[in-house]
Structure 1
Amino acid sequence: MALLNDVKSELASFNSDLPAAKMAQAATMMRFGGGLRPVNHKAVIHGQFDSLEAVEWLRSTIDHYFQREAKVSKVTRQTPNGIIQRYDLLVEHGATALALQTGLLDRRMRLVPGLPAEVIGGNIAQVKAAWRGAFLARGVISDPGKASYLEIICPTHETAIALQGAARRLGITAQARKVRSSERITLRDADAIERMLNLMGAPRSAREWTGKRSDGEARGKANRLANFDDANMRRSAKAAAEATQKVHHAFEILGDDIPPNLKAAGDLRLKHTDASLEELGRLADPPITKDAIAGRIRRLLQLATKTEKARKAAEEAKG
């Protein structure tokens, strides 16, 4: 959540000198925030946002670039997850003219189902501004260290497709999908998310995202290695316990009829039940390699198996 606030704060402070980009961002924010709607038999533009900096950017832009008055009010709502704050933006006077200026209405006075043609068909600065505006209005991003995603909740299927096409123009693949009753556009590739943050105008947040993601991946790798080492230790301990039982059984079968070097290796296994083969090799007198101690224990067990089979065969022959 902290990262989301940081991203929106940085995007809201992004300053483009291109009027077309400002108009594209404002139009997209109005479209994704709520749009043109009838209230008391009058058309108004209404939007709701979760970032005060975002709504203040839109209010200021509507005032300076479109010469319309926009009012901002704070809304507090109780939800199952606690109290949340939202910020309403309302344009009452001249809302229809503003919708025409920004392309939310076409020349036949029909609501545009997606995004204005001059936005999605504009220059790259306008395309970036459209993504910036959509994210400021309805964007979310995962915290680093968790499953990576950057997602925008879209008002219609057409707006999701328009945003998907805009991402494609930026060289990024975005997935349009429907989750229950909402249309969404989603990025899941971590590198694509980092690139989109930079393209939208949030390089500081992109660096933070990359750094925290790297830290999370490093911790995950360390945990995996620790788990791997722990599993190896468990396997080694289990193998040592099984080998100890087999050596004890071999000694019972062979009695005193054991070659000295094999008996010494077996004695080490019985005396140091938790030791690894490498440790047993170092304990031998003189010290020998891991492979050598393993070979001697293996020959001891093979000799015991051979002896046991021979005895059974002899008993069967007598019977």
Structure 2
Amino acid sequence: MALLDDVKSELAAIDNELPAAKKAQATAMIRFGGGLRLVQRQIIVQAQFDSLKAAQWLQDTIRELYGHEALMTQISRPTPNGTVVQRYVVHVERGGAALALQTGLLDRRKRLVRGLPADIISGNIAQVKAAWRGAFLAHGSLSDPGKASFLEIICPTSEAALALSGAARRLGITAKPRQLRSSERITLKDPDAIERMLVLMGAPHSAREWTGKRTDGEARGKANRLANFDDANMRRSAKAAAEASEKVRKAFEILGDDIPENLRAAGQLRLEHGDASLEELGRLADPPITKDAIAGRIRRLLQLADKTVKAREKDMAADSVK
């Protein structure tokens, strides 16, 4: 969560945007953070955040850009694992309908806009970036480095998800909506796309940190995979060497003294150095030989033992016929 907090703090600290971009961000924060509520025929604007700085940004912007007074309430919520998380609710009761019209969340006929206002989605690139920034501040999450990569925003409606998807396309990023556990979501899983989106939203420092930690995690994962691979290879080699030693022992019993000296020497090395690789056995030979040569001699030793067994069985079958 620490990195996610850093991302949201970096995004909420942006203060050099033009009014159109600030409006786009505020609208997206309200839309994805909660939206509009109708209480006793009065429209109340309400949005909830897990970042205090994001909530403060929206509270200040509503006052400075739209001229309405927004209240902020802090609430504590227990989680299933017993911890308590803090949430910050920004709400406008007096003038809520006027603010909804100013942000475009109500159209001119005072109908609720279920996605994002068209003038934001079709606006300039600064507005599109700001819309994504606002949606992420309201309901965005980011994977911890070293785990499966994802950047995700939970959307209040399918129309809102489609609006973000269209906005991402204008930024050159593919982000497809999906439904998970009865909620609409926009998810990025490609690490390069995630890094680019973080930069486009306005969090280049957090993007570098996330990428750096992800790279470190991938390097550790690769090292672990290589270590596991090496362990598996060693286990397979040890098993093969043990099986080869047992076959050589049986070959010696079958052939007795009737073994060519070079094959006997190779077999004896296998028995005396049961854990050694073929390359190591070749170096131990006198004179040293290659691993292919030692493998070939052991193979001919075993083949000779097989031929001897078959010949004996053939002789016994012939004797039984007589």
**SS at 1:73's partner residue?**
strand
Q: Give the alignment's TM-score, normalised by structure 2.
A: 0.97
What is the CA RMSD across the aligned residues, in angstroms?
Answer: 1.0
Cα distance in 1 for residues equivalent to 2:181 and 2:287: 72
Quick check: 1:258 aligned with 2:243?
no
Q: CA deviation at 1:41?
A: 3.5
**8 Å contact kept, 2:150–2:187:** yes
Q: CA deviation at 1:316?
A: 1.1
**SS at 1:115's partner residue?**
coil
Unmatched runs of 5 consecutive residues or more in structure 2 = none
Cα distance in 2 for residues equivalent to 1:315 and 1:14: 94
Cα distance in 2 for residues equivalent to 1:214 and 1:29: 31
Cα distance in 1 for residues equivalent to 2:311 and 2:72: 96
Q: Give the alignment's TM-score, normalised by structure 1.
A: 0.98
Per-residue Cα deviation, 1:67-110 (whole angstroms, up to 9, x for no partner): 11111111112231321110010112211111111111100011
Cα distance in 2 for residues equivalent to 1:280 and 1:246: 16
Cα distance in 1 for residues equivalent to 2:234 and 2:35: 62
Cα distance in 1 for residues equivalent to 2:313 and 2:14: 88
**SS at 1:35's partner residue?**
strand
**SS at 2:116's partner residue?**
coil
Quick check: 1:154 aligned with 2:155?
yes
**8 Å contact kept, 2:151–2:187:** yes
Q: CA deviation at 1:252?
A: 0.6
Per-residue Cα deviation, 1:237-279 (whole angstroms, up to 9, x for no partner): 0110110010001101110011111100111111111111111
Q: CA deviation at 1:64?
A: 1.0
Cα distance in 2 for residues equivalent to 1:281 and 1:254: 23
Per-residue Cα deviation, 1:28-87 (whole angstroms, up to 9, x for no partner): 101111112122442211111100010011111111111111111111122313211100
Per-residue Cα deviation, 1:112-131 (whole angstroms, up to 9, x for no partner): 11101111110111000000
- Figure out how many residues of one structure are paired with residues of the other and give that number: 319
Cα distance in 1 for residues equivalent to 2:78 and 2:289: 73
The residue aligned with 1:190 is 191
Runs in 1 of length 4+ with deviation above 4 angstroms? none
Q: Percent identity?
A: 73
The residue aligned with 1:69 is 69
Which residues of 2 match residues 166-315 of structure 1 at below 5 A? 166-315=167-316
**8 Å contact kept, 2:245–2:270:** yes
The residue aligned with 2:2 is 2
**8 Å contact kept, 1:16–1:22:** no
Cα distance in 1 for residues equivalent to 2:80 and 2:257: 77
Per-residue Cα deviation, 1:217-254 (whole angstroms, up to 9, x for no partner): 11111111111111110110011011001000110111
The residue aligned with 1:56 is 56
